[in-house]
Amino acid sequence: MPFTVATWNVNSVRKRLDQVARLARDTAIDVLCLQETKVVNELFPVDAITDMGFPHQAIAGMKGYNGVAILSRRPLSDVRIESWLGRDECRHIHAKVETGTGPVEVHSLYVPAGGDDPDPDANPKFAYKLAFLDALAPFLAARAAGSLPVVLTGDFNVAPLESDVWSHQRLKRTITHTPVERDKVQDLLAGDDDGSEGWTDALRRYVPADEKVFTWWSYRAADWRAADKGRRLDHIWVNAALAPALSFAAVHDTARDWPEPSDHAPVRAVFEIP
């Protein structure tokens, strides 16, 4: 049986309930990781999402901003919420999912956006984003090298490759595509610098590195598809223990055309667990 994991920054789960249901109907998804749920746990739409086929839900929400969740058709165990740099901002939750032949650890991560000014000395939000990525590094390096299969998903708010943005030249001084954050994310992807194995960038296994592919298009563009000024901010990374099982990955960009869309499209990865 294939095992399918998707990630989606929904920009308010309550505003996007119909779209989440539509995604669940249109595609086979076992585990759906959400970011920017923007709701406290007490008001999370547990029943509506149960009715969509995801009775198992791990949630970490706060009022107004941020918020992550893992929705699953199968039981979740060992749910943990991670707080980085001492801030309880509901940006990282992970849990184990039983696949039938063993557990897979699934992560839903929401990296700080970083504001507008790409000078970390002048812009504390960007300094925070860079420190957040640094804080993640040892945690992710341990997961990358571990024997437990891990799939790391989320809105990383970084487009690491030149082909991850509509114009590398125009965006290289724009936060999400500055050299310093691209380098940090590519270092995380590569794993520890002791020669151990890193992560597999699932989508880039199926889309060549010189081909543009995006997961986010600003609300501010009148005709998002015609302009196609997008960026690849949402990622699915797979550790070495799980990488052999990866069989497919794609951006579900039709979701960006649905009524009242999120500005992000879902990314989906399929595994053939032996």
Partner DNA sequence: ATGGTGGTTAGACCA
The contact set with DNA (CB under 7 A) reads 11-12, 14-15, 38-39, 63-65, 112-113, 115, 125, 157, 218-220, 260
- Provide the minimum distance between the beta carbon of 38 and DNA in the complex, in angstroms, as a whole number: 4
Query: In the complex with DNA, which residue's Cβ is closer, 25 or 63?
Result: 63
- Provide the minimum distance between the beta carbon of 90 and DNA in the complex, in angstroms, as a whole number: 12
CA end-to-end distance (rounded Å), the chain: 8
Helix (H) or strand (E) holding 157: none
- Provide the minimum distance between the beta carbon of 127 and DNA in the complex, in angstroms, as a whole number: 13
Query: In the complex with DNA, which residue's Cβ is closer, 247 or 254?
Result: 254
Q: Please tell me the distance from the alpha carbon of residue 67 to that of residue 138, in angstroms, as a whole number.
A: 23
- Provide the minimum distance between the beta carbon of 162 and DNA in the complex, in angstroms, as a whole number: 21
Query: In the complex with DNA, which residue's Cβ is closer, 126 or 271?
Result: 126
Query: In the complex with DNA, which residue's Cβ is closer, 4 or 157?
Result: 157
How is residue 121 written in tokens? 């000395």
Q: Please tell me the distance from the alpha carbon of residue 125 to that of residue 122, in angstroms, as a whole number.
A: 9
Cα dihedral: 24, 166, 133, 179 (round 10): 170
Query: In the complex with DNA, which residue's Cβ is closer, 209 or 227?
Result: 227
> Is 254 in contact with 22 (CB distance < 8 Å)?
no
**b (16+ CB within 10 A) / e for 199-226:** bbbbbbbebeeeebbbbbbeeeeeebee
- Provide the minimum distance between the beta carbon of 34 and DNA in the complex, in angstroms, as a whole number: 12
